[in-house]
Amino acid sequence: MEERPEERPAVFLHGGWRCASTYVWSRFRELPSTACFFEPFDERLARCTPKRIRRDTAASWDSRHPVLHAPYRHEYLPLLGFVRKGVRGYRDGYALARYFPPRGGLSPEVRYLSRLLRRARTEGKQAVLGFSRSLARAAALRDSMGGYHIVIRREPLQQWLSFRSYRERLPLQYFELCHFLVLAVAPADSPAARFARHLGLPRPRRLLGGLQRQLRCLHAAIYPWRDELSYRAFVAVSLLSHSAAAPAADLMLDVDRLGRSSAYRETVSAKIAADTGLELDFSDCKPSNHDPASVAVNFAALEEEVRERLDDFGAELDATVVPVRATGR
């Protein structure tokens, strides 16, 4: 007897910013049997309204995202609060303050995400959750919630160059600043927090206005920053995040290889179909690339330096994550 969609395992997509995670999520969303929730830890869910959801599309900013048949957060419309703005069960701290799991665990996040899974089952669909803020929490989420977990990886230098290309286009240089804040608010005495102190990042207080106020205060404290500082912060977050996520991965998805190799696309699609029952088409995968020579930074040396410093701080790093590259000067 064939499984109904709601009986199949929920799919968790774990990626960082600007690593083609929206593209991968959009391929799942094309299927009529799925209910695909976009970035369940995104801080904008705290203040969503129907109007804001409808106007926030891939065409409403310089997203470089694929064309989507509905706004990013369309699936959250039935989950909005009746009195207060925002998605029921979501809390501002889920975005970055709890990026590295706190000692008390992830019970609040699990309760909130379970609500999304129940919504998908109510609709008779298979849930797909596409994250860009979950990598360091992937293993803890798998332990608590089960499901099928795909970790999305992109060549790290290209990922950072994409952040940098938005430096003058987005308020507060958002993508770079979020990496600074993730380190700055990490649990005290964790390798991430120790690295933040090493970089001289101030630890934001808990302020009225939550995450947006913290971002503004941190921006005011450290802007303008050098490319070297930004890249160090990115590499540290990437190393720590992917090292934490790797043990949780049922599939490690390399989007650069996905764009280059038809054989790899077929292998990945066949595995996902066998493991989840979902048949996906990645034939249009074409990650954009940026020229590393346009930035006067010795990327390989900085990556090695960050890895050594995190090792000094007691981080348990996966040796295969963010290898030193021969790119850059």
AA letter at 265: R
* Residue carrying the six token digits 């109904």: 4
Mean pLDDT of the chain: 93
* Residue carrying the six token digits 């990042």: 201
In whole angstroms, give the CA distance from residue 133 to residue 95. 7
- 83 and 121 in one domain? yes
Residue 209 lies in a domain: yes
- 100 and 213 in one domain? no
Average pLDDT over residues 236-249: 97
Q: Quick one: what percent of the chain has pLDDT higher than 90?
A: 85
Across the beta sheet with 126-131, the strand order is 34-38, 126-131, 11-14, 148-153, 251-254
- 322 and 239 in one domain? yes
- 25 and 11 in one domain? yes
- 189 and 313 in one domain? yes
Q: Please, is 284 exposed, middle or buried when counting C-beta atoms within 10 Å of its C-beta (0-12, 13-18, 19+)?
A: exposed
Question: Which DSSP symbol is given to 190?
Answer: S
pLDDT, one tens digit per residue, over 184-235 is: 999 999 999 999 999 999 998 776 568 989 999 999 999 999 999 999 999 9
> Backbone phi, then psi, for 195, in 5-degree steps?
-70, -35
Structurally, how many domains does the chain consist of? 2
User: Of 110, 114, 76, nearest to 94 (Cα)?
Assistant: 110
pLDDT, one tens digit per residue, over 290-325 is: 999 999 999 999 999 999 999 999 999 987 775 545
Is the C-alpha dihedral spanning 150, 261, 70, 290 positive or negative? positive
Q: Quick one: what percent of the chain has pLDDT higher than 70?
A: 96
- 262 and 180 in one domain? no
Residue range(s) defining the domain that contains residue 321: 171-244+291-329
Please report, for the domain that includes residue 263, its CATH number.
3.40.50
Residue 160 lies in a domain: no
pLDDT tops 90 at residue 251: yes
AA letter at 185: V
CB atoms within 10 A of CB 224: 8
- 309 and 180 in one domain? yes
Q: What is the pLDDT of residue 208?
A: 55
pLDDT tops 60 at residue 129: yes
Q: How many CA atoms lie within 13 A of 253 on its CB side?
A: 30
* Residue carrying the six token digits 């346009």: 294
